[in-house]
Structure 1
Amino acid sequence: MQKVQSKDSKNWLVFMLYTRNEHDECLRVIEEILKETNNRNDVASYVKGLILRSRGEILQSLEIFKWSQKLNPVSMEIVKQVGRCLHLIGRSKSAIDVYEQALKLSPDDWEIWHCKGMCHTHRNELDEALECFHSANLIQKHDVTFIQQGEILVRKEDYKSAIDVYLEALEFSPENPELLTTLGLLYLRLSENLKSFQYLGNALTLDPINTKALLATGSIIQDRSDHDAALLKYRIIAVYNPNSAQLWNNIAMCFFGKGKYVATIACLKKAQYLDPFEWIIPYNLGIAHLSTQQFASAFHYFNAAISLNAYFASSYMYLALALSNLGDIENACAAYEKAISLEEDFLIYLNYAITLNNYGQKEKAREIFLKFKELFDKLDAVSRELDPDIQSRSRSLQASLDQ
């Protein structure tokens, strides 16, 4: 008598082909199995859904997972895949509903809590997302959950709590370069350069070609005006990530610090090509053109920077400088006033006063100069000595106003 094969007899072959990434052959075997079993092998259907989703056929994958769920309604793995597909096609609310049903059956599954948190994040429901990620970490700690938790806290501008989360993550996973790099970047954002350098250095010890860590380390070195050392870091990044707009922006400003303005503008234009919507790039192009006395071009780039970021006071100050050199004193004054409305910076007042004095408006210049003196005198002695050019310009202006 002929032996009847079990409907599950080829499941081992499906798994073997799938794990070997032999997807075409795997699909062929799956189709044979589904034909033999009248589409009632949940394992074959499940793997077919995984393959189709990896190929971008998410809607077809979702339908297959839903069918698998009917065949095996208690399988948490299938439920997770249904939720994942719904999230990928933008139906995050439906995915949350699926995960909530799953949590009733399996409340201690960290992955369900994590995926639910991802859906809330996508819907910008940040407090709900934080609760989900916290619940996930209480069940089982995972780097990816800590990272998501920290990213939400950064979005909420709660940097101290974000640092605490990443420090806790490092206790669990002390040799994770991504965690170390993220901590370094957070400390850099808070201007704690020494701590930043420490964590970025640890990240580079574990991963010497970590481009994010190299870029941040180069930025710190660049801030210390050691442009050649920074360029050495950037040279490594250029090998592994040559299409980084931030990289070419930083390289450009190294050349700017070395007084190589042609190279500066060339690198900045490459950066702008790679990321035309990053405001700092046209801002730096404006600075470069202002330094080479190409005032019309400088005006164009500062205007572009403002259209991308209308809340950076220095953009208006330098726009005013370009306009004043082009002879448009009325609009220059309007730009200075806008800059002051955004930030009361002594440098804005100094440049404003110099511009007014150059155009013969001495009374207004004296008024603005007094405001500069008031802000500048509040600085400590060390800060006042950092830029001797400011003191030189203020003395020259004072002498002119006293005549």
Structure 2
Amino acid sequence: MASKNDSTSTAEKIPKLPSLESLNWLLHLFYIRKDFKACKDLIKEQVTLTNGNSEYALYVHALIMRQEGRIQESLELFQSCSVINPANVLNLKQVARSLFLLGRHKASIDVFNEALKKAPSDWEIKHNIGICFWHLKQNEKAKQYFKEAINLSKSEISFLMMAKVFIQENNADAAIEILVKAAEYNPESCEILTTLGLLYMKQRHFQKSFEALGNALTYNPTYYKSIMAVCNMIQIHNDHDVALNKYRIAADTAPESPRLWNNIGMCFFGKKKFVAAISCLKRATYLSPFEWKILYNLGLVHLAMQQYASAFRYLNSAVNFRPKEPLIYSLIAVALTHLEDSVNAKQAYEHSLALDGENVYTNLNFAVFLYNQGDRQGAVSRLIEFRKNFDSIIQGKRKDIDPELQDVVSKLGPILNLGETPRPKSIEQKQEKIANDSAQKYSNITKPTDDSEENYRRESTIASVSNVGFDGSSRSETPRTESRVSTANLMRRDFEN
């Protein structure tokens, strides 16, 4: 009887230790509801109660710190979790991600390699190591790890990143091959199909591009990037009304997209509704004031409206953001010519040709300008250069060259004694003064993929590639006696570099 009482008293003296995981469910519930205040209060209680040994409480606290932008603090908390439970691979992966976000890519690779020893078949670790090597500009190692990640799991983000590396190396064929393979394993991925469609568009395989983009819209009719790409292709073929109808769908998804309003503005420009075009372009530049293409297009439209001072102002702003873009200098030269500043206009033409001496449009415009300035010898040399480059383009069976180029050459060539047959003197005298704005045609611009970003999440690393089309337009002004504007769409094809 005494022994029974002793055992009872001993049991009453044993303290009841709190369970380290008893409230993890509630902590998780607060976190997924984004009730971070309640989450932090519960974390504080758990940490105090367990004397700082609650792994999950520290882990959630670190995730909250990362979302608040306090990356260094989140790194320290993840490191504490790793000390408490060194066998947990997820803690090491989060430590490596925090190091990546701090720009410490080599340190991140070291931690990922340590995690890889404990989980050699984790495709996400290999994928993340590939991203780190890609940021370190070690593309061969990056491709190796992306390939290993693809072999372990046919995840679309690994395919997309592999394609992005090839695109960065200007190897579009290899990128297309990767994406075609990716589409076999992820047939309903709108991101893959859109990227593939844009690559086909860049290669000028419009039928294949349309098929890929059409498949993407079949799976998701409101997918913003696919709509933008399809409309971009429609604009290339001058079907502006159809493009505007489709842009209405995109406007419901992304009403504050500067690219959307830029493209809508250029649709109105193609329809010669210049006031509406300027209104849309100004809204686009309000949403993205540092985008040079929008400023370029504003200058283009103001030139069409013969508002040369305003055109020069926008083009001058565009050249500040893109100082090595030859077409901007060509348009600046046109604006300066109309503003009767021939000295600076000539310098602008020369600078444009120094950046791209094979541009047929700039060569022809410069030839007309020099002839109007009385420099026949310079005009002859520019026209010869134009013909040489134009013949090489024709041999390449390019169909996007404006037919009015030949009309201008047929007028200028005989005057400079470069035509096939001499013209009567009376006709030559009538054509003696060709307007400075003749043949203002500009070729397609391709903007590099702005725009890829790596978004790190808890479960997986999302590396998205932005492939949204960005249109511009080319300007054509015939001699003053018949002032007209023709358009040839400028395409911003992403792969933002």
Determine the structure 2 residue equivalent to 1:324: 337
Q: Which stretch of structure 1 is more off in the superposition, 4-13 or 245-254? A: 4-13
**Which of 300, 325, 338 is residue 351 of structure 2 equivalent to?**
338
Determine the structure 1 residue equivalent to 2:412: 397
AA in 2 matched with 1:252 = G
Is 2:51 the partner of 1:38?
yes
Determine the structure 2 residue equivalent to 1:189: 202
Determine the structure 2 residue equivalent to 1:137: 150
Determine the structure 1 residue equivalent to 2:378: 364
Question: CA offset at residue 24 of structure 1?
Answer: 4.2
TM-score, normalising length from structure 1?
0.90
Measure the CA separation in 2 of the matches of 1:370 and 1:58.
60
1:273-309 CA-partner distances (Å, limit 9, x unpaired): 2222222222212221211222222223333333322
| Preserved CA contact (<8 Å) 1:287 1:298 | yes
**Which of 255, 279, 284 is residue 297 of structure 2 equivalent to?**
284
Measure the CA separation in 1 of the matches of 2:390 and 2:167.
32
Measure the CA separation in 2 of the matches of 1:216 and 1:373.
33
| Preserved CA contact (<8 Å) 2:123 2:153 | yes
1:293-351 CA-partner distances (Å, limit 9, x unpaired): 22222223333333322333322222222222222223222222233331313322222
Measure the CA separation in 1 of the matches of 2:129 and 2:185.
23
Measure the CA separation in 1 of the matches of 2:252 and 2:400.
40
AA in 2 matched with 1:140 = S
**Which of 58, 77, 88 is residue 101 of structure 2 equivalent to?**
88
**Which of 4, 7, 14 is residue 16 of structure 2 equivalent to?**
4
Q: 1:268 to 1:12 in 2, by over 3 A?
A: closer
Measure the CA separation in 1 of the matches of 2:114 and 2:400.
65
Measure the CA separation in 2 of the matches of 1:355 and 1:62.
62
AA in 1 matched with 2:341 = D
Measure the CA separation in 1 of the matches of 2:201 and 2:399.
23
**Which of 348, 354, 367 is residue 353 of structure 1 equivalent to?**
367
Determine the structure 2 residue equivalent to 1:242: 255
Question: CA offset at residue 158 of structure 1?
Answer: 1.9
Determine the structure 2 residue equivalent to 1:52: 65
Percent of residue pairs bearing the same amino acid type: 39
- Higher relative contact order, chain-length normalized (CA < 8 Å, sep 6+): 2
Q: 1:369 to 1:12 in 2, by over 3 A?
A: closer
AA in 1 matched with 2:25 = L
Q: 1:5 to 1:191 in 2, by over 3 A?
A: same
Measure the CA separation in 2 of the matches of 1:129 and 1:383.
36
Determine the structure 2 residue equivalent to 1:373: 387
Q: 1:221 to 1:35 in 2, by over 3 A?
A: same
Determine the structure 1 residue equivalent to 2:464: none
Q: 1:72 to 1:282 in 2, by over 3 A?
A: same
Measure the CA separation in 2 of the matches of 1:94 and 1:156.
26
Determine the structure 2 residue equivalent to 1:162: 175
Measure the CA separation in 1 of the matches of 2:391 and 2:46.
83
Determine the structure 2 residue equivalent to 1:205: 218
1:49-98 CA-partner distances (Å, limit 9, x unpaired): 33433343433322222122112111111111111222223322222221
Question: CA offset at residue 20 of structure 1?
Answer: 4.7
Measure the CA separation in 2 of the matches of 1:364 and 1:57.
62
Question: CA offset at residue 18 of structure 1?
Answer: 5.1
Q: Which stretch of structure 1 is more off in the superposition, 243-252 or 289-298? A: 289-298
Measure the CA separation in 1 of the matches of 2:309 and 2:242.
34
Determine the structure 1 residue equivalent to 2:90: 77
Measure the CA separation in 2 of the matches of 1:33 and 1:379.
72
Secondary structure of 1:360's aligned partner = coil
Question: CA offset at residue 371 of structure 1?
Answer: 3.1
Give the unaligned 5+ runs of structure 2: 1-10, 418-427, 429-497
AA in 2 matched with 1:389 = E
**Which of 275, 289, 306 is residue 262 of structure 1 equivalent to?**
275
| Preserved CA contact (<8 Å) 2:292 2:322 | yes
| Preserved CA contact (<8 Å) 1:211 1:240 | yes
TM-score, normalising length from structure 2?
0.74
AA in 1 matched with 2:209 = S
AA in 2 matched with 1:313 = P
Q: Which stretch of structure 1 is more off in the superposition, 50-59 or 352-361? A: 50-59
Q: 1:75 to 1:331 in 2, by over 3 A?
A: same
Is 2:184 the partner of 1:171?
yes
Measure the CA separation in 1 of the matches of 2:170 and 2:416.
44
**Which of 304, 308, 325 is residue 312 of structure 1 equivalent to?**
325
Measure the CA separation in 2 of the matches of 1:379 and 1:76.
57
| Preserved CA contact (<8 Å) 1:11 1:43 | no
Measure the CA separation in 2 of the matches of 1:25 and 1:227.
53
Indicate the structure with greater helix content: 1
Q: Which stretch of structure 1 is more off in the superposition, 6-15 or 218-227? A: 6-15
Measure the CA separation in 2 of the matches of 1:378 and 1:339.
20
Give the unaligned 5+ runs of structure 1: none
Measure the CA separation in 2 of the matches of 1:250 and 1:286.
15
AA in 1 matched with 2:380 = R
Secondary structure of 1:100's aligned partner = helix
**Alignment RMSD:** 2.6
